[in-house]
Amino acid sequence: MAVPFAAPAVRGACLSDATPAAAGKVALVTASMTQTGSWSTNGGAAIVRALFKRTQAGNWRVGFMPADRETALAIVRTQKGSRPLLRHCAVHPAIEIRAEHVLAPVNHSRDLVRAPVSAVLSSQDYQLVQVEAPDVQPSELRSAVRWSLRDILNYPVSEAVVDVFDIPEKARYVESQMIFAVAAHSEAIKRVVNLVKPRARGFDVIDIPELCLRNLTSLLPQDEHGTALLALGEGFAQLVLTCQGSLYLARRIDLTKHQDSISIDGGEESNAQALAIELQRSLNYYESHYDRAPIANVFVASGDARAEQLLEPLRTETGLDVELFDIEEFFEVAPGVEPDTHFPGLCALGAALRANGSTP
């Protein structure tokens, strides 16, 4: 159900609690967050706060991204005033280990057994859209937005888990206030909850890849004035534009439409041309729509040779400062750890950066 998203996303993400109720439905409790938006999955804000109090001392968080073909797991400890400590970041093929078994080391480690766990939805399990903010009370906002999505979703809106996000800044030339909505089928949410909750005592939130990548760019000094991250996956590139920890724009670029030009086996110059065009369109939109200063720094990540091979061609095509996203520059990597930064690994890593103790 995923749809390529090319509109601004969130600042101060407002996401929800999602726990299977006795009737098998997904209950929601809206939560307001500043730089760590995600879906909470415990039984209400009080329980989430209690969990945070128990686990905050260790400052560990686990990021977990399950998928059909592979599962990613990242373990990070954050500490104010120092670089995050990366203890584990790996992508496990499904043919080698089942998703439920990937979490086993968490339960067998004394300092991780109660660590908070963030699960990440796969892109096909949710939809991110821009809608006009309905003129209703805040307590009625999600219900009103749900109704407005009835013609957008390809399944009954009654089966959707819906939440909303504020726009970072009011767009130019737009009279009505716009907000952003994320919708996931309740079955997708329950599938993740049923997979993770029995195996992770600290399971507390469900995240989405765009916010995970935003967490990574917030580590960059360049994010103070705005930066772009282009994360290459299998057949797609996920672009996020951020500034001062806020996600302004997220776009999923389908690379299968440009297989001749974005195949690393071809010439680097032609590889970069199609990506450069899409990147420049997004940067122009960000600059004009929000009246922001131009973004001058672009980071590329892939976990393989593709990112490095695209650097110089993208510089030539865009005239921007294009660099490799090297996590060892922003993380303290534990001895013996070789981080896997393919797309699922990046998402799990970003999920593990969610600040422990942030207001639900």
**Domain residue ranges in the chain:** 14-212+344-351, 220-329
Q: Which fold has domain 220-329?
A: Nucleotidyltransferase; domain 5 (3.30.420)
Return mean pLDDT, the chain. Answer: 80
What is the residue whose two structure tokens read 């930066």? 227
HEC per residue, 298-334: EEEECCCHHHHHHHHHHHHHHCCEEEECCHHHCCEEC
pLDDT tens figures, 142-170 = 889 998 898 899 999 999 999 887 777 66
What is the residue whose two structure tokens read 């690393």? 264
User: Two tokens at 133?
Assistant: 């903010």
DSSP, collapsed to helix, strand or coil, labels residue 128 as strand
Looking at domain 14-212+344-351, its CATH architecture is: 2-Layer Sandwich (3.30)
What band does 358 get if pLDDT is binned at 50, 70 and 90?
Answer: very low
With left for phi above 0 and alpha for psi between -120 and 50, is residue 282 left, alpha or beta? alpha
Stretch (H or E) spanning 31: strand 30-32
Burial bucket for residue 181 (CB in 10 Å: 0-12, 13-18, 19+): buried
14-212+344-351 matches 220-329 in fold: yes
pLDDT tens figures, 218-261 = 999 999 999 999 999 998 999 999 999 988 899 999 887 655 44
Strand partners, 60: 77
Q: How far, in whole angstroms, is CA 266 from its chain's centroid? A: 30
Give the global pTM.
0.82
pLDDT tens figures, 79-122 = 888 999 999 999 999 989 999 999 988 888 888 998 999 999 99
Contact in structure between 5 and 18 (CB atoms under 8 Å): no
